[in-house]
Chain A
Amino acid sequence: MTKRMLIIFGLLVVASLILAACTGSTYKCDDPIGCVSYGPGEPVRIASALVISGPNADLGLDSQHGVEIAIEFQGDLFGHPIELQAEDDGCNAEGGQAAGQKIVSDPTIIAVVGTSCSGAGVPMSEVISEAGYVMVSPSNTAPSLTDPDQAWNPGYLRTAHNDKVQGKAMADFAYNVLGVRSAAAIHDGDPYTEGLARVFADSFEELGGTIVEFTAVNKGDTDMRPVLSAVAAAGPPEFLYYPVFTAEGGFLTKQAKEVSGLEDTILAAADGMISDAAIEAVGEAGEGMYFSGPDLSFSGELYDKFLAAYKENFGDPTSVFHAHAFDAANMIFSCIEEVGVQDGESLHIGRQALRDCLYATKDFQGITGTITCNEYGDCADPKISVSQLQNGEYVRIWP
């Protein structure tokens, strides 16, 4: 029986070699890290690696829909249809690496939109870059990803804003607009919230303010009174910034109102708490609270058209990063159009050429703004806004 299997296997191998030989082409690739070639009628394949399962699935699915609409609008590239391979980054480092390996094991994929989470982005950026691919992330915000001294890799770009921008903007708003001079910050040990809180604290001190307390809680904590009491005892600060997520944010908001000393402190959080669930969670205690986040007052003809298509296909958007994902996909398409080489009905794309083109993106008109990439792949048009919770609704008040 084993022998029979061996014979069959051998035959299949020979057949595949013959098949492979037949698809050979006359085009000579001179790209330093290789080319991707699509035969007549074969689709141009891009992948997405976003968090499409688990607690953060809303974020990733929303971005994926953005990519799907971009594909729909683009239609084709040099007459080749576009095909999306959707992967899951799992929102953690292991998931990012596994998704990256899955993508680079497919040589017909030219570029990637992803990842959703920065933690997944770090190892994936490495895998993707090593293999000569290129990725554009719609929602990674960790500063380390575009810091050449830390986790930057040559195949990585992003259309999301860097946390440095958001933390700084909040400090600016607190110091200059609200006029507060003392503040405290709380994070929950998540790389995202820790980074944001730290940038806020540093920027606030640079502006001349005082940080009376920089402290942390744990994910899953419920009783925040001890930590809030400590904050109150240290100041009490005029302004308290806790860029955490809904569960811990809800506890912090409600209990802050009950701790003596913090009655007059202005509360503020970040985009982790901009959602309907968060409004319900903070309840009346959150009235008047401030929230920093990317400026979402997108407008223009393109966005209207995009939104109409989104609503028709997928219902209401569940996060804000569909716009960044749409722009990321379009950046890739526009560069493929620029560097793709037609050879009869076949299409050849040099991988290094595509990377160079993406890094050279300048004044690209997307729906998140005018996109210009710097030398380390930070492409976002950094616009941060602050909104306030008024009568159970987020109202944009700055800038």
Chain B
Amino acid sequence: MLQRLKEIDMLDLFLWVFRTVILVVVVWGTIATIIENPYPTQTWMETIVAGIAQGSLYALIAIGYTLVYGVLFMINFAHGEFFMSGIMTATIFLAGPMSASGYLDRHPYLGLLWITLVTMVVSTAIAVLTERVAYRPLRYAPRLVPLITAIGASFFWQNYFRGLFGSEVKPFPQIAPFAGKITLGSIVVLKTHLVVIIAAILMLIGLYFFVMKTKTGKAIRAVAENKDVAALMGIDVDRAISSTFALGASMAGIAGVLYALVFRQIHFFMGFIPGIKAFTAAVLGGIGSIPGAALGGLFLGMFESVGPGLFLEGLGIPAPHQLKDVIAFTMLVLVLIFRPQGILGERLAEEKA
């Protein structure tokens, strides 16, 4: 017993040192940056808004992870591919031709609506198909097995779409009303950034009401709570799980449209890295929690955008932006050391895990 206490003390000591070192580096770097003051205020503002916009995208994708995790307790590695598949298809079949024919210039809002619809339909279809083929038969298998099929599905869809549409980078047309910048009070922001942030907030509110108020939403929550009991209550568990995937994928689809609006360039590989980032965001916020996913996404976007300039620039580290993922993952570890269940996670989630 004594032996064990001693070891735990060692461990706590180590964790304490670990936290302190990271915090000292962060604080030191921040102070150094502030003293040195390399950027004008406008730059900081732009960076912060870019971070919020990026974070909103992560949040929308992270919701899919969190929803699926809440219901099935599996990491749906292929979720980033749902994000990619919709906008990829819509760009090739709709956005490209519509822009070439001038339709998009004449009816920008209607055009965007069509693109969004197609994106959501394709993303949802891919998600439901993946669930049906690769996950459903394995619902009672050991947890690692569906993880591997999810990784398999991720590779499969990536390369499937690469085969369909080619490996080249595809441009997404600029939509005239969203081009340029807008002045809000004293700060100048990109219109697309504003659109992303507003759309993300609306989607989150909508999603919240959907999950809380509608019948499908209630079924999803019941299944997340306990599948067997839900089945006894007359809920079709398979259907509820399918709708969870559909819901998550349509969020990812919308994130895809917003991504295309901001970055105006798409690629078959574009889903993989945001997928991993969104997974990180979901864990950061507390996996299983919808507000957690939103908050986690926002935090991650901010760390990536502001972190290198704020923490590292002052320390004189060359090419700090190369290290933004190092910052993001270190912050993740730091948060998880303080709160092992994530920012908004419940203890319950951890027990189920």
Query: Which A residues fall within an 8 A CB radius of B?
Result: 55, 189, 214-218, 220, 222-223, 225-227, 229-230, 232-234, 246-247, 250-251, 254, 258-261, 277-278, 280-281, 283
Tell whether, in the assembled complex, residue B267 and residue A226 are in contact, meaning their CB atoms are under 8 Å apart: no
Within 8 A of A (CB), among B268-308: 269-270, 272-274, 304-306, 308
Complex Cα–Cα for A251 and B190 (A)? 15
CB of B206 within 8 Å of the partner chain? no
**Residues of B close to A233: CB separation below 8 A:** 38-40, 43
**Nearest opposing residue in chain A for B180, CB measure:** A258
CB of B322 within 8 Å of the partner chain? yes
Interface range, B side: 35 or more
CB of B218 within 8 Å of the partner chain? no
Tell whether, in the assembled complex, residue B305 and residue A250 are in contact, meaning their CB atoms are under 8 Å apart: no
- Among A214, A226, A259, A281, the residue within 8 A (CB) of B169 is A281
Quick one: given A220-B273, A223-B305, A232-B43, are A251 and B265 in contact (CB under 8 Å)? yes
- Among B167, B265, B272, the residue within 8 A (CB) of A281 is B265
Complex Cα–Cα for A218 and B270 (A)? 14
Quick one: given A234-B38, A277-B169, are A229 and B46 in contact (CB under 8 Å)? yes
Tell whether, in the assembled complex, residue A215 and residue B319 are in contact, meaning their CB atoms are under 8 Å apart: yes
Tell whether, in the assembled complex, residue B181 and residue A258 are in contact, meaning their CB atoms are under 8 Å apart: yes
**16 interchain pairs, CB-CB under 8 A:** A55-B167, A215-B320, A222-B274, A225-B305, A226-B50, A226-B304, A226-B321, A226-B324, A227-B308, A229-B47, A232-B43, A246-B169, A259-B46, A278-B169, A280-B170, A283-B264
Within 8 A of A (CB), among B308-322: 308-309, 313, 318-322
Tell whether, in the assembled complex, residue B322 and residue A258 are in contact, meaning their CB atoms are under 8 Å apart: no
Tell whether, in the assembled complex, residue A246 and residue B168 are in contact, meaning their CB atoms are under 8 Å apart: yes
**Residues of B close to A215: CB separation below 8 A:** 318-322
**Residues of B close to A254: CB separation below 8 A:** 263-265
**Residues of A close to B313: CB separation below 8 A:** 230
Tell whether, in the assembled complex, residue B168 and residue A216 are in contact, meaning their CB atoms are under 8 Å apart: no
CB of B20 within 8 Å of the partner chain? no
Closest 10 CB pairs of A and B: A216-B319, A277-B168, A227-B321, A216-B322, A233-B39, A215-B319, A225-B50, A220-B273, A281-B169, A229-B43
7 further A-B pairs in the complex, CB-CB below 8 A; given A215-B320, A225-B305: A222-B270, A223-B263, A223-B305, A225-B46, A230-B313, A247-B267, A278-B169
Tell whether, in the assembled complex, residue A230 and residue B190 are in contact, meaning their CB atoms are under 8 Å apart: no
**Nearest opposing residue in chain B for A225, CB measure:** B50
Tell whether, in the assembled complex, residue B40 and residue A220 are in contact, meaning their CB atoms are under 8 Å apart: no
CB of B188 within 8 Å of the partner chain? yes
CB of B174 within 8 Å of the partner chain? yes
- Among B265, B305, B325, the residue within 8 A (CB) of A226 is B305
Complex Cα–Cα for A218 and B277 (A)? 14
| B 166-183 binary contact with A (CB < 8 Å = 1; else 0) | 011111001000000100
**Residues of A close to B174: CB separation below 8 A:** 283
Complex Cα–Cα for A260 and B181 (A)? 11
Chain B residues touching A, majority SS:
helix
Instruction: Report the minimal beta-carbon distance from B97 to chain A, rounded to whole angstroms.
Output: 14
Complex Cα–Cα for A230 and B40 (A)? 10
Instruction: Report the minimal beta-carbon distance from B51 to chain A, rounded to whole angstroms.
Output: 8
**Nearest opposing residue in chain A for B49, CB measure:** A225
Instruction: Report the minimal beta-carbon distance from B277 to chain A, rounded to whole angstroms.
Output: 10
| B 146-188 binary contact with A (CB < 8 Å = 1; else 0) | 0000000000000000000001111100100000010000001
**Residues of B close to A261: CB separation below 8 A:** 43
Tell whether, in the assembled complex, residue A226 and residue B38 are in contact, meaning their CB atoms are under 8 Å apart: no
Tell whether, in the assembled complex, residue B190 and residue A226 are in contact, meaning their CB atoms are under 8 Å apart: no
CB of B330 within 8 Å of the partner chain? no
- Among A220, A223, A230, A260, the residue within 8 A (CB) of B42 is A260
**Residues of A close to B30: CB separation below 8 A:** none
Complex Cα–Cα for A9 and B266 (A)? 57
CB of B85 within 8 Å of the partner chain? no
Tell whether, in the assembled complex, residue A230 and residue B321 are in contact, meaning their CB atoms are under 8 Å apart: yes
Complex Cα–Cα for A53 and B322 (A)? 29
Complex Cα–Cα for A220 and B267 (A)? 10
**Residues of B close to A251: CB separation below 8 A:** 263, 265
**Nearest opposing residue in chain B for A261, CB measure:** B43
Among B38, B39, B47, B267: residue with most chain A CB under 10 A: B47
Tell whether, in the assembled complex, residue B319 and residue A226 are in contact, meaning their CB atoms are under 8 Å apart: no
**Residues of B close to A223: CB separation below 8 A:** 50, 54, 263, 304-305
Quick one: given A215-B321, A233-B38, are A250 and B169 in contact (CB under 8 Å)? yes
Tell whether, in the assembled complex, residue A230 and residue B309 are in contact, meaning their CB atoms are under 8 Å apart: yes
Complex Cα–Cα for A232 and B54 (A)? 20
**Nearest opposing residue in chain A for B308, CB measure:** A226
Complex Cα–Cα for A232 and B46 (A)? 12
Tell whether, in the assembled complex, residue B169 and residue A247 are in contact, meaning their CB atoms are under 8 Å apart: yes
Complex Cα–Cα for A215 and B321 (A)? 8
